[in-house]
Structure 1
């Protein structure tokens, strides 16, 4: 029974908005009201530069990583671990502390993949890096990495619950990036 309490804890951890906190602490504009309006690392870079973006990225990844590592340390079963992964991710997208208006979830999804299996996280990050280096478009790199994550999860972890969870996360990431996809198809994505 105690294991199930990790699910709401993961959601609350995911609900902590690194972008908003970093911008406040660094005296920057609110990312929800400036740039793209997205409280994520890419928008924070537009508003405050690389240092603020790097801190935001690390914070968003950690809030995915830490609940998953805690769940694994407590030896939860695959179903509970999958729900912890999903709850941390959804917390970032729909944070209870910030009127349910969160980011797109790329860094937090990386954090949960790293928590599930370091190799999985490294392969996903490596995919993002290679696609970014080839195309110089961050959103394209995120979309390709997200699309391949369920396959990687199946090949590396081999767990049905986690593969289904990463499939749902990937679909949500694609949906959250629909405007980026439209700009990519129109050749207008920066």
Structure 2
């Protein structure tokens, strides 16, 4: 039988291990493109995978990175029996999956920035909040054309959406994810402030990898 009082430690460990799977690195290596960490921003997310020219791999990375966040949360709920589950359980599992993506055990704790995984967690644990965050990202991306700004805005307002449409475990968890996103995007924030952040669709103009370090917002 499933146990609705699943220990949070178990949910966190399972979420972290699932989130640690570096799909971007795995897919590019299977495709014979080498180590994704050696090009562009050096990140393992979908934005950097796109720099290989393989849109299909970038889309697959985006879906898998989002999916592992959602699966971590939904898997914890399923193991705990769905009905009567403390909402803290899936939130903890989802947050741990984002931490795993950002600091994967298998890559010496050097991972991505967790935006796609975070959106997967939002959609799985409080889908109205997830949709609102995705729409916020889309609006900001269309208006300002900065992926990092769009991501940070969407994740920053997510706790407010959760306050209106979900519960306190979601508010606390999403606030933690927003804080983590700001920390992981600190270089992007500095470039936004200095006016040197690249826009969506803007090429690097032949700059070396070091010149575009950390521009990946995924």
What TM-score results when the alignment is normalised by the length of structure 1?
Answer: 0.94
Give the 5 Å matches for 1:43-122. Answer: 43-73=48-78, 74-75=81-82, 76-122=85-131
Unpaired stretches in structure 2, ≥5 consecutive residues: 199-218
Alpha-carbon distance in structure 2 between the residues aligned to 1:29 and 1:148: 37
Pair 1:3 & 2:6 matched: yes
Corresponding residue for 1:156? 165
Corresponding residue for 1:38? 43
Larger proportion of helix: 1
Alpha-carbon distance in structure 1 between the residues aligned to 2:111 and 2:53: 18
Alpha-carbon distance in structure 1 between the residues aligned to 2:148 and 2:196: 12
Structure 1 or 2, whichever has the larger Rg, is: 2
Pair 1:145 & 2:168 matched: no
Alpha-carbon distance in structure 1 between the residues aligned to 2:53 and 2:13: 32
Alpha-carbon distance in structure 2 between the residues aligned to 1:29 and 1:153: 40
Whether the 8 Å contact between 1:45 and 1:53 is mirrored in structure 2 is yes
What TM-score results when the alignment is normalised by the length of structure 2?
Answer: 0.82
Q: Deviations over 1:153-174 (max 9, x none)?
A: 11111x1122111101101101
Q: Deviations over 1:113-143 (max 9, x none)?
A: 0111222211111110111011111111111
Whether the 8 Å contact between 1:11 and 1:89 is mirrored in structure 2 is yes
Pair 1:166 & 2:174 matched: yes
Whether the 8 Å contact between 2:77 and 2:89 is mirrored in structure 1 is no
Unpaired stretches in structure 1, ≥5 consecutive residues: none
Which is bigger in relative contact order (C-alpha 8 A, separation at least 6)?
2
Corresponding residue for 1:14? 19
**DSSP-derived class of the 2:89 partner:** helix
Deviation at 1:106, TM superposition (A): 0.3
CA RMSD after TM alignment: 1.5
Q: Deviations over 1:4-47 (max 9, x none)?
A: 22321111110001110111122213122211011111111112
Runs (4+) off by over 4 Å? none
Whether the 8 Å contact between 2:41 and 2:48 is mirrored in structure 1 is yes
